[in-house]
Amino acid sequence: MTSNKNRKESWLVLGASSSVARAFARAAAEDGADIILAGRDMDDLGRTAEDVSVRTGRDVDVIAFDAEDVASHAAFVEDAVNRAGFLNVFLAFGAMPEQDEIDTDFALAERSIAVNYTGALSVLHRLAPHLEEQGDGHVVVLSSVAGDRGRLKNYVYGSAKAGLNTYLQGLRARLFRKGVSVTTIKPGFMDTDMTWGIEGMFLVASPDQAARACLNAARKRRHVVYVPFFWWGIMNIIRHIPEFIFKKMNI
Ligand SMILES: NC(=O)c1ccc[n+]([C@@H]2O[C@H](COP(=O)([O-])OP(=O)(O)OC[C@H]3O[C@@H](n4cnc5c(N)ncnc54)[C@H](OP(=O)(O)O)[C@@H]3O)[C@@H](O)[C@H]2O)c1
């Protein structure tokens, strides 16, 4: 991922215990970048760090990060920026409580918004000035097709991702002026802990496939990428279903 072969690239991977994030870290390290893994589960991050550095010979660092603890984000970003070479950012964290549980427990709605929306904005807000100063680099964010339309079975999570998508459109315009690309990734279904046990999933992507698509999207400085690509067509149809029909659908 180097536009200048002499500079030392780093990817800061936020939410690094996600299997997509792990696969992304491995792929980015194979591509020649050093990696900073950030997340809550330090044992898991430590195992990934060992695995990635043994496989690739790249430097892999680990930093504690909690998306909900926004008061800690300024110090976290300073630490990450000091450890990084040339900084690129992969944001993978997210939380998807079940909609029927949210319907009876507002705390779960708050958590979904705190992680998927406020947490993402908080850390990106603090990273943005550093990226502007660098004058180049990539930000890749795992959003979701759920943000494209509010569905009966997932509308709180979907609304948080929709807000995130709108924020990323503005951030893309801001950072583009300084040479930094911002890519919104909209996965359909991926085979990860988040979807474990969910019935009725179809066209499921593996974490490796998704990670490779994210890295390619960064290389090409893409704006919005559906993963796998055919979700663009599916969501295009879903977005155009008239509301009077859509509200009756059990999806
Ligand atoms: N799986 C899918 O079908 C699918 C579809 C569309 C979009 N996505 C998005 O893809 C991304 C990756 O999810 P996944 O599928 O890999 O699920 P996952 O395995 O559940 O990963 C979610 C990640 O978010 C982290 N996280 C949750 N709350 C956090 C917090 N407060 N602070 C820091 N990290 C936190 C988790 O860390 P802990 O290990 O500490 O809990 C974990 O690393 C998410 O943004 C998700 O919304 C997934």
pLDDT tens by residue, 61-108: 999 999 999 999 999 999 999 999 899 999 999 999 999 999 999 999
Looking at residue 5, what is its pLDDT?
A: 57
Beta strands in 65-167 (DSSP E): 86-91, 137-142
Does 3 have pLDDT greater than 60? no
Closest atom of ligand 1 to 205 CA is 3
Average pLDDT taken over every residue of the chain? 96
Residue 243: the pLDDT is 98
Q: In this predicted model, what pLDDT tens digit does every residue of 168-195 receive, in sequence order?
A: 999 999 999 999 999 999 999 998 998 8
pLDDT for res 107: 98
Please check the confidence at residue 244 and state whether its pLDDT lies above 70: yes
- Of 40, 125, 142, which Cα lies nearest the Cα of 77? 125
* Residue with CA at minimum distance from ligand 1 atom 21: 18
Spatial distance between the Cα atoms of 9 and 1, rounded to a whole number of angstroms:
8
Question: Pairing mode, if any, of strands 86-91 and 137-142?
Answer: parallel
Q: What is the pLDDT of residue 198?
A: 80
Q: What does the alpha-carbon distance between residue 248 and residue 7 come to, in Å, rounded to a whole number?
A: 55
- List residues bridging with 137 in a β-sheet: 180
Nearest-CA residue for ligand 1 atom 35 is 93
Residues 42-68: tens digit of each pLDDT: 999 999 999 999 999 999 999 999 999
pTM as predicted: 0.97
Ligand 1 mean position, distance from CA 15 (Å) = 7
Q: How many whole angstroms separate alpha carbon 35 and alpha carbon 52?
A: 9
Res 2: pLDDT? 43
* Ligand 1 closest atom vs CA 145: 6
Domains identified in the chain and CATH numbers: 9-246 (3.40.50.720)
**Minimum-distance ligand 1 atom for the alpha carbon of 210:** 10
Which residues have C-beta atoms less than 6 Å from ligand 1?
A: 15, 17-20, 39-41, 65-68, 92-96, 115, 142, 144, 187, 189-190, 192-195
CA angle 108, 113, 117 (to 5 degrees): 155
Distance CA 58, CA 25 (A): 11
Q: What is the structure's pLDDT at 4?
A: 58
